[in-house]
Amino acid sequence: MVSPVISTPARRPQPQLTEGLRLVDLTWRDHLVRVLLFSLPFLGVALLAYRLAFLSNTHAHIVEKALLAADRLRLEVIGFLYPPLPFLTVLVFPRTWMPSVLASVAAGGIAWLLWYDLERTELPRLWRMLLTVSVVATPTALYLATQAYPEVLALHLVVVAWHYYWNFVRYGHTFSGFVAGLVLGLAFYANFYAFLYAIALAGLVPLFRRAANRSREPSERWATLSQMLVTAFPALWAATSWTYINWVFTGNPFTYLAEPATAVIDPTRWGAPLAERVEWLRDFASELLAQPLLIAVLALNAWRYPRRVVPLVVLASLPSLIRLVGLTYSVPLALGTYTLIALLALPERLPRWIAPLLVIFAILQGISGTTLVLREGEVSQWERVLTTEQVRTSDLEERALAVALRQAPPRSILADDRGAYRIIARAESARPFLLPADEDFTAALASPADRVRYVLVSRSAPESDVVSALFRQGPPPGFVVDGSRAGWIVYRRIDAPSLLATP
């Protein structure tokens, strides 16, 4: 049902206003269909990785928390897990494949938006397809799209926000401005860096804003300030709120910055001396110079729209700046960011001869990115599993251990999910485990024999895993070693049946 007055055709033609608007010309159903179509290749890769039993640490951590909350029916048992948005979406159906599926859909959304934007370049369809494929079919993109759900979700939200932000600052489309702000605010709950991008985009409003004839008038200055406020407010509000509840419930407002799965602060870089940081600049510069597509697009903008170059360079420098201050920013995420900025910043109506050059630059950027990204431990393992189609022994053992532990009675296995999250995630149920979130945990730690039948420890678990720290040297009184798999040892209370005995 629509307005009785507006329902009859009365839309004032405003071509100058709506010509460049993005996304608003399609309904959400149109978007959804296209997102799903573009997700299919990523879903294929995700399911292949699942079949080969690969599970990234980030996904395992998210699934484990979701399983815990779903089993205990209390959200607060997970503490103030950050970022909460991926966790909440996985909570709908907490299984190990769920984050990969959601990540694929988020990546499909990004791919669709890139394709949507490329149409504005008016390059031939074939070259647009090649360009899209050449940036999407890289290990970096596929890894992010299938194994780094929080990061790809944040990227997806930032890309969506970017389109609406563009409508807002270029065409004064209020609805878009508020959608952009809200999506950026939401993105803070997917990844901390989205907050930094929100602030950056707000700060860049004066540079991206379409120069009005009356730009020196006070009202124009207020208009710019208002647009900055609208862009930044939700992200600032979200960050302040999250900090506030961290402070209220944990006593430390910035607990979330040190979350194990998605730690914002890089402990190795955070306290580095200034001289060392200057050294990093050289690395960052060479990383940027290894992005030929990005550089080509910046050059194109310098040619066609010089005003856009400075803000685009600022955005492209953010991954480096973030690392410079001592925060983490994974290499795949940095490479993904560069590629997205390059494609989103492509000017409209490009000459046809540029298309092959762009494809070549994209391929070169993909190759250079692959060499960088495959140095990362988890990414290279993922790549090896996928290319060889051979399941890692550790994954098989982890899965076997999880299946065995899943048979245990409720709350009968004393474990600490700061170390054992992969096993719990693989078990796809938190029910058998007695974890730090449970009230009995402290008592069980003091006297396991009175509270639990099994204890799960690992010699290689982090120190924060208090169960492993306490019992990794040997079983607690009344327990014996039941067996060990995938680096984990299961202690069994003497009177309890074995979980690991081969039938």
Nearer to other proteins among residue 253 and residue 356 (C-beta):
253
Does residue 205 interact with other proteins by CB under 8 A? no
Does residue 299 interact with other proteins by CB under 8 A? no
Does residue 2 interact with other proteins by CB under 8 A? yes
**Shortest Å, Cβ 238 to other proteins:** 7
**Residue given tokens 């250079």 in the structure block:** 368
Does residue 219 interact with other proteins by CB under 8 A? yes
Does residue 308 interact with other proteins by CB under 8 A? no
**Residue given tokens 């982890």 in the structure block:** 398
- Alpha-carbon distance of 201 to 372, in angstroms, equals 28
Count of other CB atoms within 10 angstroms of residue 184: 31
Question: Which neighbouring-strand residues pair with 454?
Answer: 413, 492
Nearer to other proteins among residue 48 and residue 75 (C-beta):
75
- Alpha-carbon distance of 13 to 31, in angstroms, equals 25
Quick one: how far is CA 489 from the chain centroid?
32
**Shortest Å, Cβ 234 to other proteins:** 6
Q: Which of 68, 152, 182, 489 binds other proteins (CB under 8 A)?
A: 182
- Going from the C-alpha of 460 to that of each of 244, 419, 440, the distances in angstroms are 35, 9, 25
**Shortest Å, Cβ 156 to other proteins:** 20
Nearer to other proteins among residue 27 and residue 393 (C-beta):
27
**Shortest Å, Cβ 404 to other proteins:** 32
Does residue 28 interact with other proteins by CB under 8 A? no
Q: Which of 66, 157, 238, 427 binds other proteins (CB under 8 A)?
A: 238
Q: Which of 109, 177, 369, 432 binds other proteins (CB under 8 A)?
A: 177
Does residue 4 interact with other proteins by CB under 8 A? yes
Q: Which of 1, 375, 393, 439 binds other proteins (CB under 8 A)?
A: 1
Cα–Cα nearest to 455, from 424, 476, 431: 476
Does residue 254 interact with other proteins by CB under 8 A? no
Cα–Cα nearest to 155, from 112, 123, 193, 120: 193
Q: Which of 215, 226, 286, 464 binds other proteins (CB under 8 A)?
A: 226
Tell me if 373 sits within 8 A of 143, measured CB to CB. yes
Tell me if 134 sits within 8 A of 115, measured CB to CB. no
From the list 55-63, 229-237, 318-326, 457-465, the region that binds other proteins by CB under 8 A is 229-237
Question: Which phi and psi (to 5°) does residue 55 adopt?
Answer: -140, 120
Does residue 216 interact with other proteins by CB under 8 A? no
- Alpha-carbon distance of 469 to 137, in angstroms, equals 43
Tell me if 458 sits within 8 A of 420, measured CB to CB. yes
Nearer to other proteins among residue 78 and residue 355 (C-beta):
78
From the list 217-225, 324-332, 388-396, 488-496, the region that binds other proteins by CB under 8 A is 217-225
Tell me if 82 sits within 8 A of 242, measured CB to CB. yes
Amino acid (1-letter code) at residue 158: V
- Alpha-carbon distance of 446 to 451, in angstroms, equals 10
Residue ranges binding other proteins (CB under 8 A): 1-6, 8, 10-12, 14, 17-18, 24, 73-76, 172-175, 177-179, 181-182, 185, 219, 222-223, 225-226, 229-230, 233-234, 237-238, 241-242, 244-245, 248
